[in-house]
Amino acid sequence: MSKQDFYETLGVSKGANESEIKKAYRKKAMKYHPDKFGSASGKEKEDAEHKFKEVNDAYQVLSDNDKKSKYDRFGHDAFSQGGGGQGGFGGFGGFSGSGGGFEDIFGSFFGGGGSRGHRAEPGADLQYTVEITLEEAAKGTEKEVKYYRKGECHTCHGTGAKPGSEMKTCSACNGQGRVKEIQRTMFGNFENVVECSVCNGTGKVPKVKCPTCHGTGNEKELVKKKIKIPAGIDDGQRLRLGGMGEASEDGGSNGDLYLFIKVKEHTVFERHGSDIICEVPISYAKAVLGGEIEIPTLEGTIKIKIPEGTQTGKIFKLRGKGIPSTRGGRVGDELVKVVVETPKHLNADQKALLEEFDKSLKEKNTKINKGFFDKVKHLFK
């Protein structure tokens, strides 16, 4: 094991984060990778191999939080027998990538998959839009979704083989599930091991393909399902329904279905988080004299009292008449904003009465009016 300072080897500071360490490792690993020195002299190649091993040793420690912590405390002694750690951390066994070190990082960086075994991929995710009313969003509801997806073939149950037919070794990969390919990059040519596209990494193919799905193991199916939509959900939110997406092509789990919620615009209410706002027109006389008015809520109409002298724009709060939180607990409020309606198209008698009424008003009746014009007079003095 190299005794050189690991941080110095990768060219990072002690305070470097995981991303910075990984970035520095990739840069150094590509610089000293043995494949780049295939035609170099023996000494040059030997030096590169030594540097490459130092880089791998440093990364194996600094990329592991536990090992990094021990190294910061005890240095190289943390990994020696009887040191502050619990035994050594092991080398890379040359350049084979054992232990999932360089090959995993370097291979994935260039699109390869290393020499690991087949790992079944899940099916594709799907999305579906459901439109609901504001009332449904407030109370919660149940909606039926209907959509087509790639499902498991009902004839072969996903194997791709004709019932009764056996599976055979894939000739493209000789049953290994992986094949080699050359990746050309700015750093030179690299040999990658990738999943076989013929058998999808399984190493097996059907001797006789299923007549229904023609060997794919999948077929189109219609899904109908009732979905519960929780109370308090908002426009634009989504629900993840695990396993309701498309079937996998190589024996993995189904993908997911993402349900996007669209809440219809309401004719009376406007939503702001858990609160709803409602503008209610009242007559001039009602604003002056006060009285009861009828207010719509998400649960029906109720009556509230309006005090005399109510000004337009006044907001009354109805606690607990809004939208519940999807996390439970708090329910929002309904904010009632009154708008005093100015009467139009008055006849002569109505105008005369209004003029007489206006002349009868005193300063105490119109404090807002007087206060405003007092400020205006002071402004232009």
DSSP 102-114: HHHHHHHHTT--T
Amino acid 40: pLDDT: 59
Structure tokens at 137: 């969003």
Say yes or no to pLDDT of 143 above 50: yes
Say if residue 145's pLDDT is above 60.
yes
**Mean pLDDT score, 155-171:** 86
Question: What would the two tokens of residue 81 be?
Answer: 């027998």
Alpha helix locations (H) across 76-167?
102-109, 134-139
Cα–Cα dist 325/333, whole Å: 11
pLDDT for the residue numbered 106? 47
DSSP three-state, residue 142: strand
Of 320 and 175, the one with more pLDDT: 320
> pLDDT tens-digit profile of 87-128?
444 433 333 333 344 444 444 444 444 434 556 678 899 999
Q: What is the mean pLDDT of the chain?
A: 81
Sort 355 into a burial class: Cβ within 10 Å, 0-12 / 13-18 / 19+: exposed
Give the pLDDT score at 83: 47
- Decide yes or no: CATH 1.10.287.110 for domain 6-109: yes
- Please state, in angstroms and rounded to a whole number, the distance separating the CA atoms of residues 340 and 334: 19
Residue 186: φ, ψ to 5°: -65, -15
Is the pLDDT reported for residue 228 higher than 60?
A: yes
> Secondary structure of the chain: what % helix, strand, coil (to 5)?
30, 30, 45
Q: Does the pLDDT of residue 168 top 50, yes or no?
A: yes
Backbone angles phi, psi at 222, to 5 degrees: -95, 130
Q: What band does 141 get if pLDDT is binned at 50, 70 and 90?
A: very high
Residue 255's alpha-carbon distances to 26, 167, 208, 263, 362, in angstroms, are 32, 26, 28, 26, 74
pLDDT of residue 380: 67
Closest CA to 137 of 10, 272, 324: 324
CA torsion, points 38, 42, 43, 44, in degrees to nearest 10?
A: -20
Q: What is the CATH number of domain 123-151+217-264?
A: 2.60.260.20
Position 188 scores a pLDDT of 63
Q: Where are the beta strands (DSSP E) in 88-217?
A: 126-132, 141-152, 167-169, 178-185, 188-195, 204-206
The C-alpha atoms of residue 218 and residue 14 are separated, in whole angstroms, by 52
Range from 54-58, 288-292, 327-331, 377-381 carrying the lowest mean pLDDT: 377-381
CATH fold match for the domains 6-109 and 269-379: no
Lowest mean pLDDT among 64-78, 259-273, 281-295, 326-340: 64-78
pTM, full prediction: 0.57
What does the pLDDT read at residue 23? 82
- Indicate the CATH number for domain 269-379: 2.60.260.20
3-state secondary structure of 42: helix
> Could you state, in order of their start, the residue ranges of all structural domains in the chain?
6-109, 123-151+217-264, 269-379
| 328-351 average pLDDT score | 92
The yes-or-no verdict on residue 277 having pLDDT over 70 is yes
